[in-house]
Amino acid sequence: MSTLTLDPEKISSVKNNASAIADDIQKFINKHSSISVERSLLRLYGVDGATKDGTPYVNRIVEIAKKDLAQYGITKLLAAATLKTKRDIQTTAELLATKEIPINVIKELSSAELEVKEREFATIAIEKLRKSKEKKERKKRDLPMPQAPWKYLIVATGNIYEDVLQAQSAVLGGADIVAVIRTTAQSLLDYIPFGATTEGFGGTYATQENFKIMRAALDEIAKKQKRYIQLVNYASGLCMSEITACAAIEDLDMLLNDSMYGILFRDINMQRTFIDQYFSRLICAKAGIIINTGEDNYLTTADAIDNAHTVTASQLINEALAIRAGLPEEQMGLGHAFEINPTIKNGFLYEIAHAQLARQLFPRAPLKYMPPTKYKSTDVFQSHVQDTLFNMASVMTDQVVHLLGMHTEAIHTPLMQDRYNSLGSANYCFNTAASLSSEIEYKKGGIIETRANLVLDKTVSFLREVKLQGLMNAIGEGKFADIKRTQTGGKGLDGVFVKGENYTNPVLKILEAQNE
């Protein structure tokens, strides 16, 4: 692969400053938990189902336990309850949810009994995550992964069964990754609906049952195609870590999981988001799930030329936070996008500069490269040309996760025929230019190299500023995506609490110990 000449001292500077920024956030994370983290634990232990009124048992139990969560944590409370009832986890959970037994019987049991039961729960959870990773690795051995760039295609009908048909059709057309978009505003729901769903607006509800249905459907078509097909969903918003737990149980391959996306674009409280992204990434690391970050969204609200350095800075911060959760670089699908105004002279060269800079800053990461959307028009022919240039940029810079552009982006939700056309363009570009990156060299001091170094220089200065004021304050000033959020604003702050002296989270303890 051809490379740009970049100053190694500047690369060290941005990495070190991002690390310091992440350390500051991690100090806050370590002292806190959230109701969504506690619900995630219940799901990993095996609590499933919903009450007659449709409230998930995990929500009902955590709500009942809310006044005791900070002091003990949900694991200790559930451990005490199961010891008291002498019943299994699910039955005990149902009894707790209906208040047939009290939530706090800890004082009736010895600390030794509780510790044994908590370790038992933690073993169940860790084993689920280990087995999920093992199953996926076995499938990939039997059905080899295609060569990158992996063609990533979205389905979003609102009906999981219709999604299955569209997903399997996409695979037949050449898709390597299928992403099921969530229904509009699900990130604002502080619960996960139970069961399969057939109604959604702009997407399909992310539920554990829907994950299971789509995973089975893709495994079926993968065997016929003799290649492994990866499944993606979205783990952001108020249920970030909880959706991650469901995804791990059902063997998903990738999750959209960004440390700041929910804060900036969905107005989720930043304290809640930073806490939840940490636990969700610990789960991803153990279950072998690749995260996809959302830096492409910055360029929908900020200019791609003027603010390219904020994308790079966010990638570096996401990387640093992911490292603290034990994610190897091979599981960091850091995001970026092809979003420069097409009327700008040499805009394609700048796009190459941005993509190549990301590739060199994160050499082993399966970067997620997003297509043009901001400057799409209803001229489908012009739109298709923009997508084709995006495809070429991906091949030239050795991208890995390549989200297909749609020529009808500005008209309607893409139809199956639209996806077919997009796959055709990508298949052609990836085949006809397969070895392009190893055949070209970048001109020393040329437009591409100069642009990449300018973005790197701006990133150096930007991260120094963020380090001095702290990430939460920087977000408050609108340094990312030109959007301002406050530390106590947004949705979900009431679900955050400081851990008490007797608080325990044995799953967290094991996952963190494995990262040391």
pLDDT, tens digit (0-9, with 9 covering 90-100), for 289-344: 999 999 988 888 889 999 999 999 999 999 999 999 999 999 999 999 999 999 99
The verdict on whether 261 is a catalytic residue reads yes
The answer to whether residues 366 and 263 belong to one domain is yes
Share of the chain above pLDDT 70, in %: 100
Asked if 56 and 194 touch (Cβ cutoff 8 Å), the reply is yes
Name the one residue in this structure whose structure tokens are 């051809």: 2
The verdict on whether 52 is a catalytic residue reads no
User: What does the block give as tokens for 457?
Assistant: 């220089």
Q: Which of 399, 434, 450 is the last residue of a domain?
A: 450
Name the one residue in this structure whose structure tokens are 């690390």: 19
- pLDDT (0 to 100) of residue 1: 75
CATH number of the domain that residue 324 is part of: 3.20.20.440
For residues 142 and 311, give the distance between their C-alpha atoms in angstroms, rounded to a whole number.
37
Residue 60 within a domain? yes
User: Could you give the C-alpha distances from 97 to 51, 181, 189, 379, in angstroms and in order?
Assistant: 8, 31, 20, 55
Q: Evaluate if residue 515 carries a pLDDT over 80.
A: no
DSSP assigned state of 291: E
The answer to whether residues 163 and 206 belong to one domain is yes
Residue 118 within a domain? yes
Query: For 199-255, what is each residue's pLDDT tens digit?
Result: 999 899 999 999 999 999 999 999 999 999 999 999 989 999 999 999 999 999 999
Residue 267 within a domain? yes
Considering the candidates 258, 296, 387, 398, report the single residue annotated as catalytic. Answer: 296
Considering the candidates 117, 136, 151, 368, report the single residue annotated as catalytic. Answer: 368
- The reply to whether the predicted model has a pTM over 0.85 is yes
Residue 82 within a domain? yes
Considering the candidates 152, 261, 350, 375, report the single residue annotated as catalytic. Answer: 261
Asked if 148 and 365 touch (Cβ cutoff 8 Å), the reply is no
The answer to whether residues 157 and 94 belong to one domain is no
Query: For 79-114, what is each residue's pLDDT tens digit?
Result: 999 999 999 999 999 999 999 999 999 989 899 999
Segments forming the whole domain that contains residue 271: 147-450
Contacts of 176 (CB under 8 A, 6+ apart): 145, 146, 150, 151, 152, 227, 229, 230
Asked if 206 and 243 touch (Cβ cutoff 8 Å), the reply is yes
The answer to whether residues 208 and 271 belong to one domain is yes
The answer to whether residues 89 and 174 belong to one domain is no
Query: For 266-294, what is each residue's pLDDT tens digit?
Result: 999 999 999 999 999 999 999 999 999 99
The answer to whether residues 419 and 277 belong to one domain is yes
The answer to whether residues 109 and 238 belong to one domain is no
Q: How confident is the model at residue 473 (pLDDT cuts 50, 70, 90)?
A: very high
The answer to whether residues 163 and 72 belong to one domain is no
- pLDDT (0 to 100) of residue 414: 81
The answer to whether residues 156 and 277 belong to one domain is yes
User: Could you give the C-alpha distances from 70 to 27, 67, 111, in angstroms and in order?
Assistant: 17, 7, 17
Q: Which of 450, 479, 503 is the last residue of a domain?
A: 450
Q: Number of structural domains, the chain?
A: 2
Query: For 399-408, what is each residue's pLDDT tens digit?
Result: 999 999 999 9
Asked if 48 and 57 touch (Cβ cutoff 8 Å), the reply is yes
The verdict on whether 296 is a catalytic residue reads yes
The answer to whether residues 166 and 209 belong to one domain is yes
Determine how many CB atoms are found less than 10 A away from the CB of residue 411: 15
Q: How confident is the model at residue 516 (pLDDT cuts 50, 70, 90)?
A: low
Strand ordering across the sheet containing 401-403? 332-333, 290-292, 254-256, 230-234, 177-180, 150-155, 401-403, 368-370, 335-337
- The whole-number average pLDDT for the span 41-51 is 97
Residue 360 within a domain? yes
For residues 266 and 244, give the distance between their C-alpha atoms in angstroms, rounded to a whole number.
18
The answer to whether residues 69 and 207 belong to one domain is no
Q: Which of 66, 89, 124 is the last residue of a domain?
A: 124
Residue 23 within a domain? no
Q: How many helices (H) and strands (E) does the chain have?
A: 21, 11
The answer to whether residues 75 and 112 belong to one domain is yes
DSSP assigned state of 296: G
- The whole-number average pLDDT for the span 172-183 is 95
